[in-house]
Amino acid sequence: MGALYIHIPFCKQACFYCDFHFSTSLKKKEDMIASLMKEIALRKNELENTIVETIYFGGGTPSVLTTAEIQFLINAVYSNFEVVKNPEITLEANPDDLSEEKIIALSKSPINRLSIGIQSFFEKDLKLMNRAHNANEAKKCLEIATQYFTNISLDLIYGIPDCTNLEWRKNIQTALDFGIAHISSYALTVEPKTALESLIAKGKIKNVNEEKAQEQFYILLEELEKANFIHYELSNFGKAGFFSKNNSSYWLGKPYLGIGPSAHSFNGKQRSWNVRNNAIYIKEIAQNKLPLEVENLSETDRYNEYVMTGLRTIWGVSLEKISVDFGEKYIHYLKKITKKYINQELLFIENNILKTTVKGKFLADGIAADLFMLE
């Protein structure tokens, strides 16, 4: 089984923290959709012998597309790939795009999962991040969406300056009150060359506080565990039967194909990524060229990737898989370098699987990087 990701590189406005590829101009939207459909056709042999299990519209803000435009792209996928009978088809959406009319139209389309970028239910937080929606729109869209979709995920951001722990608990509880079955939650991070970095440097916004973010991360674990959510990946929580199949494909090392500017692909041995420029992307696709770079992954690259993704998930890092797939050199190295983290009660081994402890979860990415083997 494989996953197909389609990047929609448009947003109504730029969130201060975002470093994803997008344009706030929709002038080239029609050309972009035509190019996306053409790239799908040009790459139809790349998932050979692999059935598409999930289709994911990410961005950017895919909900700026009309339902008809989304349908065109889904039709292109079905025309060029073998797709399972009932694929998970996710649309990332912002609350300000989800009018009742739009939600009803989407519910009648092949889209069967919404991933809604709420981020916070507090107006001050939304303004600080320069989100396009307000708190009332966030709640209103969930009131309507939950009537038409059973599979909804929403995004929440913790560690926002001036968001107290009490407000953070209210954010979580508000999401739970809507009966949401999946939550993706991330710490607010200051990415290079973003508006957030500039505003913090100028003293217009307070800097993020890692200790506060860590506190709110553990509040999140506590509250969602009480609500019977499973913490199946560092930033993702789902009730039984509602894990993201698309994202799980990435973490479990399944092949995936990324369509659109800046989209990444992986086939097990190679990683590739498309150019982060809409005009160049459209021009190259028009000439039947794939505007991408390819990296051949060494054995060490693949080991490092497996460790990084495995430690983020409930499935952990299988020592048996390391031994079989990579050999004794790697298993000996891993056992040696994990000793200090096991002694610090940040990692543990159970049934020959290496996992993070509750204390180690927030530090998972940093720990994984320390476990990497250098070429």
Task: Output the DSSP codes for 285-322.
Answer: HHTT---EEEEEPPHHHHHHHHHHHHHTBTT-EEHHHH
pTM of the predicted protein model: 0.95
Q: What is the pLDDT of residue 49?
A: 83
Domains and CATH numbers, the chain: 2-251 (3.80.30.20), 299-371 (1.10.10)
Three-class DSSP category at 244:
coil
How far apart are the C-alpha atoms of 241 and 63, rounded to whole Å?
A: 25
Q: What is the pLDDT of residue 22?
A: 87
How far apart are the C-alpha atoms of 251 and 364, rounded to whole Å?
A: 14
CB 122 within 8 A of CB 176: no
How far apart are the C-alpha atoms of 32 and 9, rounded to whole Å?
A: 9
Instruction: Identify the CA nearest to 9 among candidates 18, 25, 21, 26.
Output: 21
Q: What is the pLDDT of residue 340?
A: 96
Q: How many CA atoms lie within 13 A of 70 on its CB side?
A: 26
31's torsion region: left (phi>0), alpha (psi -120 to 50) or beta?
alpha
- Give the contacts of 290 (CB within 8 A, at least 6 positions apart): 39, 42, 43, 274, 284
How far apart are the C-alpha atoms of 243 and 191, rounded to whole Å?
A: 28
CB 190 within 8 A of CB 197: yes
CA 116 to chain centre: 12
Instruction: Identify the CA nearest to 7 among candidates 49, 87, 65.
Output: 65
Instruction: Identify the CA nearest to 78 among candidates 105, 35, 44.
Output: 44
Q: What is the pLDDT of residue 370?
A: 95
Q: What is the pLDDT of residue 299?
A: 95
Tens place of pLDDT per residue across the chain (375 aa): 899 999 999 998 889 898 888 898 889 999 999 999 999 999 999 987 899 999 999 999 999 999 999 999 999 999 999 999 999 999 999 999 999 999 999 999 999 999 999 999 999 999 999 999 999 999 999 999 999 999 999 999 999 999 999 999 999 999 999 999 999 999 999 999 999 999 999 999 999 999 999 999 999 999 999 999 999 999 999 999 999 999 998 888 889 999 999 999 999 899 999 999 999 999 999 999 999 999 999 999 999 999 999 999 999 999 999 999 999 999 999 999 999 999 999 999 999 999 999 999 999 999 999 999 987
How far apart are the C-alpha atoms of 57 and 3, rounded to whole Å?
A: 11
